[in-house]
Amino acid sequence: MLYFGNHHPNYPFCMHGMRPNEDGRTPYATHHTKGRLVRALALYGTIGSLVLSALATAPADGATGASAAPPAPVPHPISFGRCAPVEHLPSTVECGTLTVPLDYARPEGKKIKLTVSRIRATAPKERQGALVFNPGGPGGSSMDFPLYGSLSKWRRTARAYDFVGYAPRGVGRSAPLSCQDPEKFAKAPSDSQVHPTEAFKRHKTAQAKAYAQGCARRAGADLPFYDSVNNARDLDMLRAGLGERKLTYMGASYGTYFGAIYATLFPGHVRRMIFDSIVDPDPRQIWYRNNLDQNVAFEGRWNDWRSWVAKHHGVYHLGTTAQAVQRAYDKVAQQVRKHPAGGRVGPAQLQESFLNVGYNDAYWPARAEALAEYVRGNPKPLVTQAGPRPEDAADAENSNAVYTTVECNDAAWPHDLSTWDRDNTDVSRRAPFATWDNAWMNLPCAFWPEPKESAADGLSAAVRKAAGGASKNPGGDEIAEAARQVAAVHADGALHGRHGPVDIRTAPGALPPVLLMAAERDGATPYPGALELQRRLPGSSLVTERGSGTHGIALGANACVNTYTEAYLLHGRMPSHRVYCGPRAEPRPDAPSHRSRQAQKPHVVAHP
């Protein structure tokens, strides 16, 4: 999925779907190391005996999936203090850490720490509790969320709630994931092909395989535990760590998906929930089918932007029809393939930058100006908007690593490359703009290791570490823990097989009323997903923004939507089953700058 992040000013945690470059992988263990592995395992019994021991102590009721895990340990209250400098937060924000199990099935095993941020309610006498926010992703952080309280449309809510943000597992400093060297990941310029050649397909397939191997090599045995169910369990630990008896939560985009898992697992722990821009939760959609549907929705949004630019031909001079604007864009793509803009912007960077027009109308004028200025001979706006920034490479790689890991772990993906080729070729005939770039972003899931492989790799890594003298206890605790992990994974597989996505749903009356929000033309989370979630959460209400497609609509540019949002958060008032708000106003065109450059030789010529 092309990052379920939020590309608009109200949720400023923008993530950009950068495609991985090839990362070579060396074998995990040499023949010599394998010999050490065998000797190390002899210290702790064979894997077979460990599996039998685990089976002997497993639940006898046949519990499967998320419900099979024992209750999470009670966390210590979060101790807040000054934020680390690396967070770049002002002194008004306080930070802390939350300790959670890596694997909730083994709560006494390995622990990881999540970073948390907070600003207290600005009107203590009106305080209703903590409001926890997640902006989406997977791979998004809300560490900046406490600062929202200073924005005019959030101030009333900030009077009543502590604004709490956090970095989910894998993100930022929360047991971070990485699959590739950031510099290689962000290497530019790079190519993107709307209708890829067979040679390009082979190239991108090799990159995807190398990227999946990089994820497995770097995370080892921990890899399978970065998923949506564990994100939901972490959210409940966060609730308890904050001292909240019940959770008030606002999730956008991907945040609606694991928020809905939370509602399924812990309906009695919910106070109020807003799900804004909703992922289709049908297990059959997670995640492969959702990606294909998303491509079609993004094509509609791409057409919305092209039509808007054509309507303002008098400003941008890119053509009077959507087709003419497309021709101008295609010629720019051809030009930057031959001569990258600023030496940094090739077709992939161009495509990634213009994908944002599908997320938020606020990008429309800037992207139109950049395209128009490039046509007129001034590449600077395009380079500024689309050029990668080296200082962002580490964060971008981390976000992409989390995105890939969570989505690949959540569900089974096709391993037959012919399936990917058939389905994406078919969709690209109707929706060429985003389809193949989206496919390449998700293709590592075709090569994703099974949990048994990850556990075995983790054990190999522990043995190598011990053999190399890096461990203070060679052949000791780390190898024992890794061996126990192998046993647990084998036992779980023998008992339950592979876990599929959670069947999100609640019984009538089990869950307090939940407020759902969606825009009819949302490209990232197509509107039918909101209808599906409402069917699965009895008693929920759906607020629809008609005729609009901005991704993330709460407390934004639509006063009608904001009224429903505040009434629910501040007073618990629910609208009827389904209510509708009119569309937000279209953005105003900005006249392109540097008109004096019109006389310069153009890079491309747009045909009206």
The residues assigned a catalytic role are 253, 522, 551
DSSP string, 157-177: HHHHEEEEEE--TTSTTSS--
Give Cα separations from 398 to 161, 175, 205, 392 (angstroms): 30, 11, 21, 10
Task: Read off φ and ψ for residue 200, nearest 5 degrees.
Answer: -65, -40
Task: Read off φ and ψ for residue 245, nearest 5 degrees.
Answer: -65, -40
Buried b (16+ CB within 10 A) or exposed e, 535-574: ebbeebbbbbbeebbbbbbbbbbbebbbebbbebbbeeeb
Q: Which amino acid is present at 526?
A: P
Q: Which residue has the tokens 């199990």?
A: 101
How many Å apart are CA 420 and CA 414, to the nearest integer?
Answer: 7
How many Å apart are CA 247 and CA 201, to the nearest integer?
Answer: 46
| CB-CB contact of 216 with 449 (8 Å) | yes
How many Å apart are CA 358 and CA 275, to the nearest integer?
Answer: 20
Measured from the Cβ of residue 65, the count of other Cβ atoms closer than 10 Å reads 14
3-state secondary structure 530-555: HHHHHHHCCCCEEEEECCCCCCCCCC
3-state secondary structure 464-529: HHHHCCCCCCCCCHHHHHHHHHHHHHHHHHHHHCCCCCCCCCCCCCCCCCCEEEEECCCCCCCCHH
How many Å apart are CA 602 and CA 592, to the nearest integer?
Answer: 15
